Chains A and B, each alone.
Chain A
């Protein structure tokens, strides 16, 4: 270890204690990747502060020494956003306290390291729940959800993380602690809380998060419809949305996904000969819910559904969901690596884009499985492959690039809930003009003029250089 690294280790140890500074190669390996396969980067050090004060002290120390840092939650992100190339990783996993749950006002004050599913468990005795439910909810943290503006299947009705955060306390990249939003009243002034959510660790570290909670719906009904064509399933999606009913979730899986699920321990009883299945859920007041179920069933049948199955009890419902929630796990069994992509298209473009994705997959000889939030037009084209095979990796990346451009050309976007991170950086210039990217850079510089917080992510660096020249008059 060189002298400056030793000095940094010593200084960090003084703040958090020796146990919480990781510097050995074997220790750093655990932090050299996230949920995005094929990318690795070794951090300079990993530090795990145990309190808000320690976070700020660590960030201030790094600011004094001009050292870049990457905040990290559970490392379940799928865009390479928490990769740290010679930067210091600030792991927030020790900050797992739920400070308070105010059931009357449906708000909880939590630390960033609280796991999404743990929060759900903690608030359930109050008849409440936290709506955003990313597939990784058993492991991902609320802080990571805030950084990525995470979504999940139930975001169709209830919105993404942004819609469920009332206030934040943020440690800025220079170590100053500031408050955004309000946990007790309407916020006034600029929506800094909204701006911070989804900033992927580039604006600082949220040390305190006030999440909004919802009452558990009186009743939930779940349906599974299967179709002999993906187009029919997509038509059913449009028809359901057009009725005015907002389902709690409206998820689609194509045949490749269905077969992977049914061949796994997560088998949910999906018909393996179906071209697609649609999982629809409605919730709310019990009265009138059956009417909604009947309308949705009819929409599916009118669109050509072969069968519509309505879950008869909680166990049946859980089984239908198991296939969807564990689809990524099932796909992960097929090959050593699984790339889970994320893009959004206008809902009416779903049939067209699914056909294009199928054609692209065939052309590159890769197996694309689609499991996605159909009601939002939020696609997750996934490819199982072996990242150690360079030729296969190249084909996968080329296919994904074409899929991204097809989504952009269809009027969509490159990410609906996974973030830009490193993976999508190259598409930002296809999506945004130079002045638009430059404006984002200028906003970033307000928070972090030295660009030390999660450097090299979200906006291409050269876009920032252009802005720096044009904005200083």
Chain B
């Protein structure tokens, strides 16, 4: 059992010498994501605890195995929070959240994971303990390996400690569902958004199935989170009326939203320019229908142009190929988070370019960390 960074580093150094693959495990909630990846478990989830938290600085440093719940509890006591809301099950760790760069609806206003991380300690593939960034909110000392490790899925180093930026909790924090006439086109329904004087904390379009699963509505609708001072929030609630019928729902519905993907679902994020949002959404919904994915849980971050899909798929392999290849409309990108093993063959690796492979060779020369998780091939890594 590894409980200190020295022990974790020693395990990695040993694996480096013997070229034995390691599977980095935090809370275990993300292990179904990405391609199959085998190796001896490196248990970072046991490396827990808040190392430093000075509320006046609005920064917090925690070991990678610390859960998001533990951080939420510690910061709530001081009227603060870490505004990250990834799709994550209870027990998800801060290390995995940063390693996977998983963000949620709050990214609309608060920025993505990469915007919240100030510093990282990580063990490279040779077992060296390294640090990048720091604990202060602005820092350009040295090359930005913080950004490099954020979203690298543990393939360039094992994140062991992180420093993150916190925010003070807003005075008022409320959630609303906005429903409008289903017979009108999506473009028409969303058009008033452009001129609306609102600055929401989050604004998501929900598919009918997702709205039903959440218990907030029975058709496609908008889920809006408004925060700030009471005057501003009240004025925005009124402004929302231009989009349809407004109904307040408990703000905890956003917590439920982040825990909804059904077991065994395929999960993908389809993204394109925000002006293409309606077309992207329609393509995804039509594609899911054509693929006989009934009741898909789909939500869209309109201003970011991102459509997130969670769907059960039980067809045979030839259909699976069409399903995977056709998920994104022309010009859009798709990032698959979960797929059956048979599906990954149709997904190109996102780290097959020269620079990415060079970084992998530089930081994990024996190719032991989460080997194959990002679809990199042995030939490319070992050139």
Contacts of A337 in B (CB 8 A): none
CB of B371 within 8 A of chain A?
A: no
Number of B interface residues, CB 8 Å?
79
Contacts of B54 in A (CB 8 A): 346, 348
A176 to chain B, nearest CB (A): 8
CB of A160 within 8 A of chain B?
A: yes
Contacts of A202 in B (CB 8 A): 143
Are A241's CB and B168's CB within 8 A? yes
CB of B318 within 8 A of chain A?
A: no
Are A377's CB and B168's CB within 8 A? no
- Once bound together, how far apart are the Cα atoms of A248 and B124, in whole Å? 38
Are B151's CB and A104's CB within 8 A? no
Q: Identify which of residues 379-436 in chain A touch chain B, using a CB-to-CB cut-off of 8 Å.
A: 411-420, 424, 428, 431-433, 435-436
Q: Mark B185-217, 1 if CB is under 8 A from A, else 0.
A: 000000000000111000000000000000000
Are A446's CB and B355's CB within 8 A? yes
Contacts of A64 in B (CB 8 A): none
A216 to chain B, nearest CB (A): 13
- Once bound together, how far apart are the Cα atoms of A287 and B331, in whole Å? 39
CB of B72 within 8 A of chain A?
A: no
Are B235's CB and A285's CB within 8 A? yes
Are B354's CB and A420's CB within 8 A? no
Are A418's CB and B114's CB within 8 A? no
CB of A238 within 8 A of chain B?
A: yes
Are A288's CB and B232's CB within 8 A? yes
CB of B377 within 8 A of chain A?
A: no
- Once bound together, how far apart are the Cα atoms of A106 and B194, in whole Å? 12
Contacts of B148 in A (CB 8 A): 190-192, 194-195, 443
Task: Pick out which of these stretches binds chain B: A8-16, A19-27, A116-124, A179-187.
Answer: A179-187
Contact partner of B144 (CB less than 8 A), chosen from A104, A149, A459, is A149
Are A424's CB and B136's CB within 8 A? no
CB of B35 within 8 A of chain A?
A: no
CB of A65 within 8 A of chain B?
A: no
Task: Pick out which of these stretches binds chain A: B22-30, B41-49, B176-184, B361-369.
Answer: B361-369
CB of B142 within 8 A of chain A?
A: yes
Residue of B nearest to A105 (CB): B273
Are A347's CB and B272's CB within 8 A? no
CB of B252 within 8 A of chain A?
A: no
Contacts of B366 in A (CB 8 A): 473
Are A346's CB and B135's CB within 8 A? yes
B180 to chain A, nearest CB (A): 22
Are B168's CB and A439's CB within 8 A? no
CB of B289 within 8 A of chain A?
A: no
Residue of B nearest to A459 (CB): B142
Contact partner of A443 (CB less than 8 A), chosen from B57, B143, B235, is B143
Contact partner of A416 (CB less than 8 A), chosen from B135, B136, B229, is B136
B191 to chain A, nearest CB (A): 12
- Once bound together, how far apart are the Cα atoms of A267 and B231, in whole Å? 37
Given contacts A186-B269, A288-B229, contact A346 B143 (CB under 8 A): no
Given contacts A185-B333, A244-B168, A285-B197, contact A428 B231 (CB under 8 A): no
Residue of A nearest to B353 (CB): A178
A234 to chain B, nearest CB (A): 11
Contacts of A271 in B (CB 8 A): none
CB of A447 within 8 A of chain B?
A: yes
Contacts of B55 in A (CB 8 A): 242
CB of A246 within 8 A of chain B?
A: yes
CB of B324 within 8 A of chain A?
A: no
- Once bound together, how far apart are the Cα atoms of A240 and B269, in whole Å? 38
CB of B241 within 8 A of chain A?
A: no
CB of A320 within 8 A of chain B?
A: no
Given contacts A199-B144, A413-B141, A418-B140, contact A287 B129 (CB under 8 A): no
Are B114's CB and A442's CB within 8 A? no
Are B332's CB and A439's CB within 8 A? no
Are A378's CB and B57's CB within 8 A? no
- Once bound together, how far apart are the Cα atoms of A432 and B120, in whole Å? 12
Contacts of A185 in B (CB 8 A): 271-273, 305, 332-333
CB of A438 within 8 A of chain B?
A: yes
A47 to chain B, nearest CB (A): 25
Are B274's CB and A105's CB within 8 A? yes
Contacts of A439 in B (CB 8 A): 124, 128, 130, 132, 145, 363
Are A458's CB and B333's CB within 8 A? no
Are B351's CB and A190's CB within 8 A? yes
CB of B73 within 8 A of chain A?
A: no
B10 to chain A, nearest CB (A): 14
CB of B262 within 8 A of chain A?
A: no
- Once bound together, how far apart are the Cα atoms of A176 and B228, in whole Å? 48
CB of B359 within 8 A of chain A?
A: yes
Residue of A nearest to B198 (CB): A285
Contacts of A225 in B (CB 8 A): none
A143 to chain B, nearest CB (A): 16
Residue of A nearest to B59 (CB): A346
Are B145's CB and A163's CB within 8 A? no
Q: Mark A275-292, 1 if CB is under 8 A from B, else 0.
A: 000000000111111011
Q: Identify which of residues 38-87 in chain B touch chain A, using a CB-to-CB cut-off of 8 Å.
A: 54-59, 79
CB of A445 within 8 A of chain B?
A: yes
- Once bound together, how far apart are the Cα atoms of A344 and B135, in whole Å? 10
Given contacts A190-B359, A435-B128, A435-B129, contact A292 B229 (CB under 8 A): yes
Are A416's CB and B351's CB within 8 A? no
Are B138's CB and A436's CB within 8 A? no
Given contacts A185-B333, A195-B143, A242-B168, contact A443 B272 (CB under 8 A): no
Are B126's CB and A470's CB within 8 A? yes
Are B57's CB and A191's CB within 8 A? no
Contacts of A149 in B (CB 8 A): 140, 144
Given contacts A376-B138, A412-B134, contact A188 B350 (CB under 8 A): yes
- Once bound together, how far apart are the Cα atoms of A189 and B229, in whole Å? 38
Contacts of A104 in B (CB 8 A): 273-275
A109 to chain B, nearest CB (A): 13
Residue of B nearest to A449 (CB): B358
Are B350's CB and A344's CB within 8 A? no
Contacts of A194 in B (CB 8 A): 114, 144, 147-148, 150
B276 to chain A, nearest CB (A): 8
Contacts of B287 in A (CB 8 A): none
Are B143's CB and A436's CB within 8 A? no
CB of A162 within 8 A of chain B?
A: yes
Q: Identify which of residues 429-472 in chain A touch chain B, using a CB-to-CB cut-off of 8 Å.
A: 431-433, 435-440, 442-447, 458-459, 470-471
CB of A323 within 8 A of chain B?
A: no
CB of A197 within 8 A of chain B?
A: yes
Given contacts A184-B272, A288-B228, contact A433 B362 (CB under 8 A): no
- Once bound together, how far apart are the Cα atoms of A376 and B139, in whole Å? 10
CB of B244 within 8 A of chain A?
A: no
Are B142's CB and A432's CB within 8 A? yes
13 A/B residue pairs, CB under 8 Å, sorted by A: A105-B273, A162-B147, A184-B273, A185-B305, A199-B143, A244-B171, A287-B236, A288-B235, A291-B230, A292-B229, A347-B58, A415-B141, A473-B126
- The 9 tightest CB contacts between A and B, nearest first, are A288-B232, A194-B147, A244-B168, A189-B350, A185-B333, A416-B138, A446-B358, A186-B271, A348-B56
A104-B274, A431-B142 given; 10 more Cβ-contact pairs under 8 Å: A162-B147, A189-B374, A194-B147, A241-B56, A242-B55, A242-B79, A418-B140, A439-B130, A439-B145, A447-B355
Residues of B within 8 A of A (CB): 54-59, 79, 101, 111, 114-115, 124, 126, 128-132, 134-145, 147-148, 150-152, 156, 167-171, 197-199, 228-233, 235-236, 269, 271-275, 304-306, 331-333, 335, 350-351, 353-356, 358-359, 361-363, 365-366, 374
